[in-house]
Structure 1
Amino acid sequence: MMQKLNTIMNTLGENKKYVDYLIRTEQFELLAHEGLNEKNIYDIINQIKEFELMYPDGFIKYIEKGREFLKRSQMNINEYYNYKIEKPDNLIKIKFHLTNDITFKKEDIKNNFLNMDNKLLYNNCYVNNNILYRNKTFNHILKRNKKKNTSYHHREILNNSHGVSSNESTPVSILSNNKKSNMYINKEYPTYVNGIRQINTHQNVKNGTYNEDKKIKYSEKGNVSDYKCGLGILNNNHQRSYEESTIFTLEQFLYYEKIGLDHIDKISFILLAGGLGERLKHKDIKIKLFTNLISEETYIEYYCNYIRCFEKYIKKEKKKKMNIPFIIMLSDDTYEKTLCFFEEKNYFGLEKNQVHFLKQNKVFCFKNNQAHLDFTYEKNTFIISKKPHGHGDIHYLINKYNILDKLIKDGYKYLFFFQDTNALALKVLFVCLGVSIQKQLHMNFLAVSRKPGEEIGALCTLNNNEKSMTVNLEYNIFDSLLSSNGIKEVIQKDGFSLYPGNTSAILYEINKYNEILKKTNGNIPEYINPKYMDNTRDHFKCPTRIESMMQDIALYFYEHKRNKTTQASTVMGENTQMVMRDNTQMVMGENTQMVMGENTQTVMRDNTQTVMRDNTQTVMRDNTSIVIPNNSTINNSICNDKKGNNMDDINLYDITNVGVTELDRCLCFSPVKNNSINAYKKILNNIHPECMFSAETDLYYSNCRFIQLACIYNKKKFILDEIPTKTFNGISYFLPPKILIEPEFSFTLTHLIKKIKGNITIKNGATLWLKANAIITNLYLDGTLIIENKTYKKKNYDHISLPIILDQNVYIKNKGYEIVPTNHFYYNKQKKFSDHIEQNIYENIQIRGYNIIKKEALLITN
């Protein structure tokens, strides 16, 4: 081998150093390959040169780092072993006290017994004679409703028995406004709305009234109180009723949402979209997946539509025109396809100059624990395997292209990072923003309740003698850390972990974030996560590589406990502290006296000067702190252009605020991660499937819940039948009414409360698509209703959209839209498509295992 290498190296000139790199890193399998010669050695050299352009540490450092990471991984050594795990600091829970997400028993799935159209699902309880009993079998099978489904042979739009208005265009009601429509169908059992349990009280259909004397007793958190239809009543024998708890949470939700909405013009967006949909059996980029089959709106179109509606709101309410920056990080796999899609769709209504595309690079893959490079040899050519370096590259790219300075100059104060296939994240954006503003958070994780063993990052605070930091730990690292310390995960009474789950949606305060990027050059700690064949941890399932995670920048947002951080403090009087920080100067002249006293606080921000001249006196009482930011000591060794800085080498800030905002999962989190096979395995383990079927139905269900909350706030009723479960592609999941709320109708709960004014009843199988500005009073829907606006232009070319006001009770019944399974032979690998649009539709249907048959709908426009 060496003789052959010497011969090759004699032909390389200055390039022979790259062969020396391979020798020093022990890449002998590659060097000893029988196909290696004087020509194809340049294939390898050029790949190393390209790699070193994008990875400043260089090839040798990368291999050495990989070898060290792999050694620790094989020995199952965790870098956080000396930290104590605690509940995350600054945890803000805004959760409605409703029953938990629907889950299923393993035996039900195995027996293919999940078509529970006529069963009620309650969490740890069952219903008998209108009493809820706790601590019973979860999926207790209730008495079946033997009532068979009947197909529609007609359609109905009723208005005081006359059907429609005089022009036969607008449906109106069958009852006067001061009476209740016949919304309760199933008289024997309570309806189920994921925890809003409503007893179907006796209804006198003849006079349109209902009997309030019929009540249901229920158990919630160990308390029993009386509950009737709608909101419920307060029982004086108990300190806190269901109504109080729900209204309190609603007020809290709306309080933060209003704060965030007031700052809508201060936020910009970053989307991480480097993935293909191959493992989902989708041949194109993931952002071309449909959020749903009713509108056939892709994820990227959905996100752009929200941003466009934010801009319209800013123009209307704040009287200024804005093009909100939208930054998208792509990979080699998705870059060209994404640009082409944006060009084809004319940037989905956004301006071309407000969308910024960043491309991350790939790094070399390892085939074993010795960090030997994985490669292929075909047609006399060597190709070293590569994979993306992880979404942590977004910080490096933002810093590299100096994006934040421009945003700060333009007045932006917050950045919202979100993932490519979680349509629900933008629905709670302004709640999270309000929390960040009110709590003065520099970094705010959007979180959900997490089940032990769930493959989602755990948010926690790590403490040791030197520092405290609130971070995300990936599920495998978290489990390893617990087991290595002999600790069992803390489970709360509701069955969820003490440590919330990370949704990969994060808000950053832009100034602090920019400071950290400049001091780290956007480089964050790296890690390696090989998938081993077995417990011996000797062989990989597939090649692995060094990578980084976007949320790991939280490792630089921590509070020091070192003594040196308090050396700038001057204690004056009892319990007095003076802390000096960034770029501040304090000059105290001769004979100056400062007395600090009780319960007083003076905070002086960056770039301020306090000059105290001769014989000057400042008096403050005990227990006071004066906080004056000054130029604290920073370890400038991090200010280089190298990847992979270790967090222990960085001494950034004494105080940073990292928080966690935990919301109901059904309101904010339902990504697409799994194909049908993997989703089936998740359900077997009682874990959310996170597939296309669940993402679409969760979008419908989230909208159901938001309408429900609006009705609760307005003291109106929102009535659903019990939610059936359907099975497609082997995945069993619940299927609520298909409700789509476009941002043109409402993009916050605050606005939705103003749009939903009356009682709402929506039957199973119904479809409600709200596409435009409208106000709805009482609605009974058993079919499909679409509300949309037509816009026109005035002479000044402003787009004008007249609101639609349904100011009377509306009863609608038609054939509607039906979800049906696709034929087993529907998929044809040899099928040829007329264009890529048709192919995308076809694949979106195929990976779901169902299609929507649009039979009949009522369309209401202005």
Structure 2
Amino acid sequence: MREPTATVTASSTDTTTATTTNVAAMDAQPPQALLERLKDYGQEHTFAFWNELSSHERQLLVKDFESLDLPRLDRIIRCSFRSQGLPVDAIEPVSENIVSTVEERTIEDRERWWKMGLKAIHDGKLAVLLLSGGQGTRLGSSDPKGCFNIGLPSGKSLFQLQAERIMCVQRLAAQFMSEVSASVVRIHWYIMTSPFTDETTRKFFEYHKYFGLEADQVTFFQQGTIPCISKDGRYIMETPYKVARAPDGNGGVYLALKSSKLLEDMAARGVKYIDCYGVDNALVRVADPTFLGYFIDKGVAAAAKVVKKAYPQEKVGVFVQRGKGGPLDVVEYSELDPSLASAVNQTTGRLRFCWSNV
């Protein structure tokens, strides 16, 4: 892993009789209204084994689908397919005027951003948001990635490394503002888990006494799940009466924050800025005061740390713009045409698509 080299800115008896009758009717055939809705979205195959299911299994299948927001899922699937195989002229390199490279920064700028960041942290304006919903299946474990001993001499887990970095920044902010305030600095840590990692993550933090942090400065919340789909956009069934599901990705953080009322919680705490990162970034500078100060100074809505792509075939996603002056996006290495991946900017000497997502 490499450290970032630049920064990019940018949801009664009668009753018993009726219930029995409804179940009996359901046993005969799938609920017609639900089946028609599934046909509208090309998902009617999910009821293919209806005649082979028991009465209880049929009820589970219907309940499973009634819990799904079918229109929203259809939009997600269609959007995903539209983003694949984009024509060459659909993406542009990130504009140089919104990139600040480490080597081009002056000592004065770095010191100014450092102080701005520390003051904002001291004033309680920064929260840290950790994306930690995934399991370490590719590493041969079903445990949350943050629980792993990644082979350091200290034996520290990713969660411990990140907690200690938060405590370090708290001390730095307190020392920086000690002449004007003797208050204790606390950075609130929001940790997004998933139904597959939530319980284990909470127990891990409790067992390790929150790695020195106060228990009430750590908030856990769960991201949602969405159906797994095949290459042709059809739901995959875990069993004949249950849809296979997976965490809804890092993008699920927005809906999860809204549904768990944590946006209101942040506002009540006076949080103005959020430092968001992924759990498996072992080199992450959590609550980096310089990055925060840079962000505040530029007055932008969002910024991202990036690493200069090492060579054209390096397997990293890169930041792009969707069309001239369009929104920033990340295109994965598997989706970027080889000719674009190897193209060079003749002015800078760098690859045209060189800013990779950490």
TM-score (norm 1): 0.35
- Which whole-Å CA distance do the structure 1 matches of 2:33 and 2:152 have between them? 56
Q: Given the alignment of the two structures, is residue 290 of structure 1 paired with residue 153 of structure 2, yes or no?
A: no
Structure 2 gap segments, 5+ residues each: 1-22
Q: Does 1:32 align with 2:48?
A: yes
- Secondary structure at the residue paired with 1:40? helix
Q: Does 1:374 align with 2:236?
A: yes
Deviations 1:348-394 (A, max 9, x none): 2222222111101211122241x3321144xxx53321122111111
Structure 1 pair 282/10, CA: closer, same or farther in 2 (3 Å)?
Answer: closer
Mapped to 1, the partners of 2:61 and 2:184 lie a distance apart of 52
Secondary structure, aligned partner of 1:275: coil
Q: Which residue of 2 aligns with 1:454?
A: 314
Which residue pairs with 1:43 in the alignment?
Answer: 60
1:385 to 232, 244, 250: 244
What CA distance in whole angstroms lies between the structure 1 residues aligned with 2:355 and 2:130? 20
Aligned partner of 1:490: which letter?
A: V
Output aligned runs, 1:813-832, within 5 Å. Answer: none
Q: Aligned partners of 2:341 and 2:197: how far apart in 1? A: 42
Note closer, same or farther for the CA distance 1:441–1:25 as it changes in structure 2 (3 Å cut).
closer
Shift of residue 257, structure 1, vs aligned partner: 2.6
C-alpha separation in 2, matches of 1:287 and 1:487: 32
Taking the aligned partners of 1:73 and 1:458, their CA distance within structure 2 comes to 14
Cα distance in 2 for residues equivalent to 1:453 and 1:327: 35
Shift of 1:73: 6.6
Opposite residue 95 of structure 2, the aligned amino acid is K
Cα pair 1:314 1:322 within 8 Å, conserved: yes
Cross-structure match for 1:497: 351
Judged with a 3 Å threshold, the aligned counterparts in structure 2 of structure 1 residues 32 and 273 are, in CA distance, closer, same or farther, namely closer
**Cα–Cα, structure 1 residues 473 and 428, in superposed 2: closer, same or farther, change >3 Å?**
same
Q: Is 1:87–2:98 an aligned residue pair?
A: no
Give the secondary structure class of the aligned counterpart of 1:417: strand
CA positional deviation for 1:38: 3.8
Aligned-partner Cα distance in 1 for 2:139–2:349: 30
Task: Give the corresponding residue for 1:580.
Answer: none
Please state which structure has a larger fraction of its residues in strand.
1
Q: Give the match for residue 348 of structure 1.
A: 211
SS at match of 2:257: helix
Deviation at 1:341, TM superposition (A): 0.7
Is the 1:9–1:16 Cα contact (8 Å) retained in structure 2?
no
Query: Is this contact kept in 2: 1:458–1:478, CA < 8 A?
Result: no
Output aligned runs, 1:525-544, within 5 Å: none
**What is the one-letter code of the residue matched to 2:237?**
F
1:473 aligns with 2:336: no
Task: Find the aligned partners of 1:11 and 1:302 in 2 and give their Cα distance.
Answer: 54
- 8 Å CA contact 2:127–2:275 kept in 1: the answer is yes
CA–CA separation in structure 1 for the residues paired with 2:212 and 2:28: 53
Relative distance call for 1:83 and 1:9 in structure 2 (3 A) is: farther
What amino acid is aligned across from residue 113 of structure 2 in structure 1?
Y
Question: How far did 1:28 drift?
Answer: 4.8
Q: 1-side partners of 2:250 and 2:259: how far apart?
A: 15
Gaps in structure 1 of 5+ consecutive residues: 1-6, 53-57, 97-247, 505-862
Paired amino acid for 1:373: Y
Which residue identity lines up with residue 70 of structure 2 in the other structure? F
Q: 1:59 to 1:324 in 2, by over 3 A?
A: same
Contact 1:85 1:463 in 2 (8 A): no
Q: Sequence identity, in percent?
A: 21
Aligned letter for 1:322? Answer: V
Aligned length: 328
Counterpart position of 1:306: 165
Q: Which amino acid aligns with 1:59?
A: L
Deviation at 1:477, TM superposition (A): 7.5
8 A Cα contact 2:90 2:322, kept in partner? no
One-letter identity of the residue aligned with 2:355: G
After superposition, the Cα gap between the structure-2 partners of 1:497 and 1:359, relative to the gap in structure 1 and judged at 3 Å, is: same
Query: Is the partner of 1:448 in helix, strand or coil?
Result: strand
Of residues 13, 20, 26, the one that matches 2:36 is 20
Q: Is the 8 A contact 1:314 1:320 kept in 2?
A: no
| Residue 337 of structure 1, CA deviation | 0.5
1:323 aligned onto 2:186? yes
Is residue 426 from structure 1 mapped to residue 285 from structure 2 by the alignment? yes
- The one-letter code of the counterpart of 2:281 is N
1:12-411 alignment runs, 5 A limit:
16-33=32-49, 35-50=52-67, 52=68, 58-60=69-71, 62-63=73-74, 66=77, 68-69=78-79, 72=82, 76-77=85-86, 81-82=89-90, 84-95=92-103, 250=107, 252-265=109-122, 266-316=125-175, 317=178, 318-369=181-232, 371-377=233-239, 382-411=241-270
CA contact (8 A) 1:490 1:497 kept: yes
Matches of 2:163 and 2:112, distance apart in 1? 26
- 1:84 is displaced (CA, Å) by 4.4
Root mean square deviation of aligned Cα: 3.4
Equivalent-residue separation in structure 2 for 1:72 and 1:311 (angstroms) = 44
2:37 & 2:24 partners in 1: Cα distance? 14
Q: CA deviation at 1:428?
A: 8.2
**Cα distance between partner residues in 2 of 1:402 and 1:84:** 37
- How far apart are 1:283 and its partner, in Å? 4.1
**Equivalent position amino acid for 1:47 in 2:** D
Assess, with a 3 A threshold, how the Cα gap between structure 1 residues 501 and 355 changes in structure 2: closer, same or farther.
Answer: same
Cα distance in 2 for residues equivalent to 1:337 and 1:258: 38
How far apart in 1 are the matches of 2:144 and 2:71?
Answer: 33
Q: Distance between the aligned counterparts of 1:374 and 1:406, measured in 2?
A: 36
Distance across 2 between alignment mates of 1:499 and 1:353: 43
Task: Give the structure, 1 or 2, with the largest relative contact order (CA under 8 Å, sep 6 or more).
Answer: 2
Other-structure match for 2:16: none
| Bigger-Rg structure (1/2) | 1
TM-score by length of 2: 0.77
Q: Deviations over 1:654-704 (max 9, x none)?
A: xxxxxxxxxxxxxxxxxxxxxxxxxxxxxxxxxxxxxxxxxxxxxxxxxxx
- Give 1:19's aligned amino acid: L
> Which protein is richer in helix relative to its size?
2
Alpha-carbon shift at residue 427 of structure 1 (Å): 6.7
